[in-house]
Structure 1
Amino acid sequence: MDATSEGRQCADRIGPTRAQWLLIALIAGVVALGLVLRPALTLFCLSCVIAVGFLIAAAWRFVLVVASLAPHHRAPTPARWPRYTILAALHDEAAVTPRLISNLSRIDYPRNRLEGFLVLEAHDQATIDVAMATPKPSWLKIIIVPPGSPQTKPRALNHALSQAKGELLTIYDAEDEPDPQQLRQSAARFAADPKLGCLQAPLRIRRIDKAPSPSRFLDRQFAFEYAALFEVTLPGMARLGLPFPLGGTSNHVRTSALRGVGGWDAHNVTEDADLGFRLWSAGWGMGVIDAPTWETPPGALERWLPQRTRWLKGYWGVHTRSPLQLGRRGLVSLLMTLGAAIVSAGAHAPTLAWLASAVLIGVHAGITPATPIVVISVLSLGVIAAMMTCAVGARRAGLRYGLTDMLSAPAYWSLLSLAFVHAFWRLIVEPYVWDKTQHDAEHGASDAMDAGREAA
């Protein structure tokens, strides 16, 4: 598999088009001109636009919560277990490689139908040495990716894809601990539906309450964000028959479908989100399973920010060049997932600052803030919908979501605006640089099957 995925539109050519730059400049110019000539009217119009966006997002969340209430589809045990390939692309992960090997060894799937590869970079001798020295099951091998550009996870995965013999394929990250039954559940679903192209397992963050950490606030909010996405949003979209962005790990794919769309986009820093829409565009169905994978949060701000920057930068995506190719349903899905993520990240901090300044100025002047009550009501509805989604997702993931978490959520959302500004700048100067998330050996080392499962 050619890592550059020649012959299709990929991220090494997604630098914003001339039309996209013109649109961005036009919007920025109109807003700037309005703030100079008619500042009050411009601010009112902006607040109304934001309010409408919040209203649409709130309605979308309510619909997904209801849709996600449908029970998970349980497929019967297939007459023959298909051959399964596991890929784990590692880079500078010597500290956690032994734990990953131990976690993968506990997967419950017929050994004669299983193959796995630790995909390692040629220059990463430390990880290679640890992987070689650690005892491994007979089905788990090591693949060394030759030097080349771009040096990204999807390029490494494409190299391994050329050697994969499985009918089905999944990928895991260095810190993952998948449910041992995950592959069996996935294989049964694929066997029952020949039109199914990919399945996403829920990703759950562990021990956010018990492990003392200076990043406890970020860890908790990150876990709730994941719970809302993987326990509510994606299941709801799957029930509605809509395409959705895959997670970076624990997505299970029919190998023929993956090869049919050219594999992963080696230049796209969110190749997972891109892949889901490409598979759907090729006519494949998408779904979810409920056997989870346990992960650790990125940690402190200096780790969280580069990861979120990479996500927002990648969300610009290949499909923004010609979104109409996704069709009406695909376009709605793209706008309400990746599009909404970008817009909301940019709007959170300015909106909070606007509300805070209006209240503070009003209190200081002893007058009622001149803020439209309708706008405030709609913004409040959007916040309530977001918190409701987090609460439902947290309950399903076995996490406590209390009043303190709700009140502190806007502070976390405001940090997304910092990542938005950083991502916009990086998209211009370093569009293809992969900001890797570092994983520590001691982080989440306790029993992941019990961690995070607390009374809701």
Structure 2
Amino acid sequence: MLPGASGRGSVSAKFSSDIRGPRADDGAGLPVELLPLIDRLPLECLVAAAQRADLIAVGGDEVVIAAGLIDRDAYARRLAAWLGLPFAELADDGGDVGDGDLPPPRLEAVASGVGAVARTAAGLRIAIAPRGVMIRELVRLVHARASGTGNLVLTTPDRFEAYVTRRARPRLGDVAAFGLLRRAPDMSAATRRAQHYRPVAVAGGVAALAVLIAADIAAVAAHVALSLVFLGWIALRCLALFSPDLPRGPPPASERALPVYSILIPLYREAGMVAGLLRALDALDYPREKLDILIVIEPDDAETRSAVLAAGLPRHVRLVEAPAAGPRTKPKALNAALPLARGALLAIFDAEDRPEPDQLRKAAAAFAAGGPDLACVQARLAIENARDGWLTRLFAGEYAGQFDVLLPMLVAQRLPVPLGGTSNHFRLATLRRVGGWDAFNVTEDADLGIRLARFGWRTGLIASTTWEEAPSRLPAWLRQRTRWFKGWMQTYLVHMRQPRRLVGELGWLGFASFQLTVGGTVLSALVHPLFALLFVAQLAGGLRAQHGALELVLAGLTTATLVAGYVGSATLALAGLTRRGLIGIGWVFAFQPLYWLLLSAAAWRALWQLAVNPFGWEKTEHGFGRTSVRRPQRQRQK
């Protein structure tokens, strides 16, 4: 009987009850990768492993390793002895390979599992780190060249990855931090230094002051132009109200058709979130043999490292250390893990994320049915601790309007989608092809969504939710929202460097959508307090008959802009909360004018940071949520 191979919750119990291997008296019919284990594991267990391996289209070794019947190191040593090959530990001291005279290996070697590790008199010594069906190819090679395998050594995938990343660490750091900058400098925020952003801040301040000068012709023109942008931003959201939600996705694929799925999880100062994160990952309904999870930590974050190691990592979870080169940002950490991912598909989760268990299966089904131009699917994000206070309620309404109303319309119309910061699912080959993430953009998600659209790739949306924790304290909320606004400003400036090229790549409709979803979001937050001040001034002075026609028109435009902004945004949020079944918290949008002033404060703070510290990353602390809309009347366990 074979325990613990796949499933969700109690993996061992589920597998033991579902699969019972028939009794057998010899190894006939076993896949070759299981033959080295005949004298180590009961034969009925090996037969059950072979049956499961055939059912889900993986190697038998991956089944027994995922089930915990043998660890990868012990299996590789038995395989090496069975094949008559030396086993290479590839230790830090390099004593068993002597690689000092070799150039650093290429990062791509990790995915292939093959690389030169020493130079001998007979030529290069080649290390092979086989797994799954690759073992069958290795066996055929050894049998075909029984007397010509003297330069082959066998190791484990984990040892080989550690060897490559250790020797190629400078290259890994350079690619993670500067890869996009070198490949496509016009698409990286790094090409604009701080001094280049100062004119932006000055220009923004001058434009804001001009609006306050009612008599100046230029100010009148600016007033009208800003009002039109604001109204266009609201109009896009109002159009989404009339767009139906996306239809149900395609049926899930069979276990056999599911691809290997990589998951990247960057952590920094998140020791308290590790236990809950690992529980959420364990709840994913996906074959463990096809999961490849990489937790990425910073080199100086000893507390998080200790928490991860103390929790005990499952066999399909690896710990990766981000290089110290370049800026300390989430996208750089993701780029560091990208060469090490081995899945056909890849997802991003954050420390506080609690994805629904079926999310990977729904994403895999969407990719299978979506055609070759579908590069990314976004899961819907929702706020779990929505009832913690008025700030989290407003945050929850924002998310509901964005992910349950606006994004379905953008996806249906095939418009550029500024991605959310988590629960993005990619075709790994496509992600690498477009250069990964911009390590210098502090909202790497929105930037990558626009870049994918510029390269002609499409983004979809799946009906699966990831629950997140929203900041319930104003200082934490302000820091997070400042970083978001700063990143959107970076994204807008990067992609507007060549407007004609952008129109050609996105089309006029996509170009207009980009102006409103990214540029309009920033501009509306910046100009809102100016319009609010004008509105208050008009109320204080009264609209007397002796005012000229122009003053009356401008006053009406100011009022219409504010009213449309408040009503349109509140309606979008309430529509999203209704779809979420959370309309009961919708009363909080009576405080929307105050919330918009907070958003404006964050936007102006972001504009200042863009001028003086464009790549600085303000960390959002997690673990303070008290309530859960998924479990009413119960407090969340910390």
TM-score by length of structure 2 reads 0.65
Which of 377, 385, 398 is matched with 2:568 structurally?
385
Q: Percent of aligned positions with the same letter in both sequences?
A: 36
Structure 1 match to 2:360: 183
Structure 2 match to 1:270: 443
- In the aligned structure 2, how far is the partner of 1:406 from the partner of 1:270? 26
Does the C-alpha gap of structure 1 residues 85 and 409 become closer, same or farther in structure 2, counting only changes over 3 Å? Answer: same
- In the aligned structure 1, how far is the partner of 2:555 from the partner of 2:251? 52
Alignment of 1:234-313 (within 5 A): 234-313=407-486
Structure 1 match to 2:631: 450
Which of 528, 537, 542 is matched with 1:362 structurally?
542
Code of the residue aligned with 1:285 in structure 2: it is R
- In the aligned structure 2, how far is the partner of 1:261 from the partner of 1:65? 33
Q: CA deviation at 1:322?
A: 2.4
Matched, 1:8 2:184: yes
- In the aligned structure 2, how far is the partner of 1:151 from the partner of 1:448? 33
Q: CA deviation at 1:310?
A: 0.9
Which of 409, 413, 417 is matched with 2:592 structurally?
409
Does the C-alpha gap of structure 1 residues 409 and 430 become closer, same or farther in structure 2, counting only changes over 3 Å? Answer: same
Q: CA deviation at 1:169?
A: 0.3
Q: CA deviation at 1:406?
A: 2.5
Code of the residue aligned with 2:461 in structure 1: it is V
| Contact 1:87 1:169 (C-alpha < 8 Å) held by counterparts | yes
RMSD: 2.8
Note the residue ranges of structure 1 that are not aligned, 5 or more in a row: none
| Secondary structure of residue in 1 paired with 2:467 | strand
- In the aligned structure 2, how far is the partner of 1:375 from the partner of 1:427? 28
| Contact 2:208 2:527 (C-alpha < 8 Å) held by counterparts | no
- In the aligned structure 2, how far is the partner of 1:114 from the partner of 1:433? 33
Deviations 1:32-58 (A, max 9, x none): 57866x636566544433432333223
Structure 2 match to 1:202: 380
- In the aligned structure 1, how far is the partner of 2:211 from the partner of 2:559? 22
| Secondary structure of residue in 2 paired with 1:276 | helix
- In the aligned structure 2, how far is the partner of 1:425 from the partner of 1:134? 41
| Contact 2:394 2:589 (C-alpha < 8 Å) held by counterparts | no
Larger radius of gyration: 2
Structure 2 match to 1:145: 322
- In the aligned structure 2, how far is the partner of 1:295 from the partner of 1:403? 19
Does the C-alpha gap of structure 1 residues 13 and 135 become closer, same or farther in structure 2, counting only changes over 3 Å? Answer: same
Deviations 1:357-387 (A, max 9, x none): 3223439x99999563354235423322211
- In the aligned structure 1, how far is the partner of 2:320 from the partner of 2:204? 48
Structure 2 match to 1:87: 264
Which of 568, 572, 582 is matched with 1:399 structurally?
582
| Contact 1:86 1:169 (C-alpha < 8 Å) held by counterparts | yes
Structure 1 match to 2:607: 424
Deviations 1:314-367 (A, max 9, x none): 11222132244333233222111111111011022222222123223439x999
Structure 1 match to 2:519: 339
Report how many aligned residue pairs link the two structures. Answer: 443
Does the C-alpha gap of structure 1 residues 31 and 438 become closer, same or farther in structure 2, counting only changes over 3 Å? Answer: closer
Structure 1 match to 2:529: 349
| Contact 2:375 2:459 (C-alpha < 8 Å) held by counterparts | yes
Code of the residue aligned with 1:174 in structure 2: it is A
Structure 1 match to 2:402: 229
Does the C-alpha gap of structure 1 residues 24 and 423 become closer, same or farther in structure 2, counting only changes over 3 Å? Answer: closer
Deviations 1:54-112 (A, max 9, x none): 33223211222222434243345256101100111000111111111111111111111
Structure 2 match to 1:433: 616
Structure 2 match to 1:217: 390
Structure 2 match to 1:109: 286
Does the C-alpha gap of structure 1 residues 374 and 351 become closer, same or farther in structure 2, counting only changes over 3 Å? Answer: closer
| Secondary structure of residue in 1 paired with 2:463 | coil
| Contact 1:199 1:286 (C-alpha < 8 Å) held by counterparts | yes
Q: CA deviation at 1:228?
A: 1.0
Does the C-alpha gap of structure 1 residues 118 and 374 become closer, same or farther in structure 2, counting only changes over 3 Å? Answer: closer
- In the aligned structure 2, how far is the partner of 1:231 from the partner of 1:31? 33
- In the aligned structure 2, how far is the partner of 1:384 from the partner of 1:34? 23
- In the aligned structure 2, how far is the partner of 1:75 from the partner of 1:83? 18
- In the aligned structure 2, how far is the partner of 1:137 from the partner of 1:265? 30
Structure 1 match to 2:99: none
Does the C-alpha gap of structure 1 residues 23 and 411 become closer, same or farther in structure 2, counting only changes over 3 Å? Answer: closer
| Contact 1:154 1:266 (C-alpha < 8 Å) held by counterparts | yes
| Secondary structure of residue in 2 paired with 1:87 | strand
Q: CA deviation at 1:130?
A: 0.5
Deviations 1:102-134 (A, max 9, x none): 111111111111110111111100000000010
| Secondary structure of residue in 2 paired with 1:157 | helix
| Contact 2:261 2:345 (C-alpha < 8 Å) held by counterparts | yes
- In the aligned structure 1, how far is the partner of 2:633 from the partner of 2:242? 25
- In the aligned structure 2, how far is the partner of 1:337 from the partner of 1:373? 25
Structure 2 match to 1:155: 332
- In the aligned structure 1, how far is the partner of 2:555 from the partner of 2:435? 51
Which of 288, 308, 315 is matched with 2:488 structurally?
315
Code of the residue aligned with 1:151 in structure 2: it is R
- In the aligned structure 2, how far is the partner of 1:355 from the partner of 1:145? 50
- In the aligned structure 2, how far is the partner of 1:50 from the partner of 1:93? 41
Does the C-alpha gap of structure 1 residues 15 and 109 become closer, same or farther in structure 2, counting only changes over 3 Å? Answer: same
| Contact 2:386 2:393 (C-alpha < 8 Å) held by counterparts | yes
- In the aligned structure 2, how far is the partner of 1:400 from the partner of 1:27? 37
Does the C-alpha gap of structure 1 residues 451 and 337 become closer, same or farther in structure 2, counting only changes over 3 Å? Answer: farther
Code of the residue aligned with 2:497 in structure 1: it is R
Code of the residue aligned with 1:138 in structure 2: it is R
Deviations 1:387-408 (A, max 9, x none): 1111111112222256642220
- In the aligned structure 2, how far is the partner of 1:84 from the partner of 1:153? 20
Alignment of 1:10-159 (within 5 A): 10-15=188-193, 39=215, 44-77=220-253, 80-159=257-336
Code of the residue aligned with 2:434 in structure 1: it is V
Code of the residue aligned with 2:615 in structure 1: it is Y
Deviations 1:273-298 (A, max 9, x none): 11111112222111101110000102
- In the aligned structure 2, how far is the partner of 1:448 from the partner of 1:386? 22
Code of the residue aligned with 1:143 in structure 2: it is V
| Secondary structure of residue in 1 paired with 2:272 | coil
Does the C-alpha gap of structure 1 residues 48 and 34 become closer, same or farther in structure 2, counting only changes over 3 Å? Answer: closer
| Secondary structure of residue in 2 paired with 1:435 | coil
Code of the residue aligned with 2:348 in structure 1: it is I
Does the C-alpha gap of structure 1 residues 302 and 22 become closer, same or farther in structure 2, counting only changes over 3 Å? Answer: closer
| Secondary structure of residue in 2 paired with 1:288 | strand
- In the aligned structure 2, how far is the partner of 1:286 from the partner of 1:356? 42
| Contact 1:114 1:139 (C-alpha < 8 Å) held by counterparts | yes
| Secondary structure of residue in 2 paired with 1:202 | strand
Deviations 1:196-235 (A, max 9, x none): 10011111001322x4xxxx22211111111111111111
Q: CA deviation at 1:139?
A: 1.1
